Structure 1
């Protein structure tokens, strides 16, 4: 049994990971600021489910409060940290840039400092497929250049990777970065396309289909994300002696994606079929900060921990919609 700090524990991925760790017998110290980027009621309901576990200990504060984080690390003698807290969303960053610097850069610096000063044995942190920018070389490999982000959100995630590598190099901190690809599933984020589409179709409202539907995404089901993290927790990176990087830091970055891009049109069709309601499509141009396609190369994940995400969009969306209709149907589905 290990005591693991999970930041962003009331968030979508943080909730599912915390539950998995608790069921595996670990103690989980959860941190979240419960901000209002989307309805905090959903976060509170996730938390309520986690507090049913004896081994869950929750603390409400923002990672920008470095003193509070340092005190918690001292109090609980935490040796493993999974940093999932962040200001999410690409389009929101266009109008609220400071929120991303505060949460994703200042907050992450405080995490690194806390890990450095308290003997943390492994830090895993969330990066994003958005760091690949408008890269057209498919599938996206961790060996590709990621120096040209197309949103501030992506830039902060790239900054996290650089900061994490620096701390790993300077202080020998074992660090694993995870580039997530379009995560979806039950208890998911209401600002994500799959949630917005399902809600609008259920209510017989039009859905905004950006880039006139000419989009592909490597949709990754939440259980696959959690399985990847759980396996990597026990796989601390060794010092990297690759002549390509010239770095000897115990640092590694992985993609976690389904390795199978899905056209947006097919994605919408699956929702229509599961709800048995036709979508009303409102085609829109490409939005600033968006990219036309994502596609994960997961060969390193398979090689190092023997895991390949494999949940099909039909199965994963089916599970999400089953949850959605149970959670929202009394107030959301039009007659």
Structure 2
């Protein structure tokens, strides 16, 4: 297909969506889903999921199967397969055979200097879909994904176990954390899911890694997970660790995690550090609150608290 023809088909789908004619849109989506071009089919599948087109679910299954055949040629990057499984997931369709096949799929494609597995996102979407449809053997499948060669898939498996929210998944997560895993993203997802499954026991487990100088990656992952948890009880842990820690990098991580909690009284505490702390502390706090760079009211509060010109300069830079 020529580039111009491809652009025309993609534009046609966009125009159908904007027109507001549901019947015409579904007809156009079905036509694209049944087509041979993976890019066009992928866009149509995304629309089907977002618009909750339950009537096209059977064709989405057929689309997935079709693009599994000679995938490197027919669906480079797994774009169509990801879109099909993602749409089925959004439509809350119980298609365990599709999801299991997707969760086990590898698609090695040539890249500069070797080959790359382009099915990682597909496996992650499938993990969530298996959980949502209550697939009976889901924990065995997630255990396999938790041992995947690709760190992004291991992190996705940990997230899916947390999404499932049942206690029988926690031992797998703890085993991953206590085992050979050294990727901070995977570790933090495992710890966050542990916190989601059981707050009290989870806090005790995750907190145990803070201050452990022999496992710096685990400590950083624990700090990230506590920040992402948005748990009230996480603040006390993070604050106490901050107040006893001397390492500047770790202190910066702890400030960022506290900022991520998005709790009003935590914001008050951080602003208090700007008001009463030295310039180094003030600048570190402001950088940790960069996730709120759009918040003019917070900027004004920080400017009001800042006593040092260097801190005010950082505020202006971060909240530009």
Bigger relative contact order, structure 1 or 2, given CA contacts below 8 A and separation 6+?
A: 1
Whose radius of gyration is greater, 1 or 2? 2
Which has the larger helix fraction? 2
Q: TM-score range by the shorter chain?
A: under 0.3
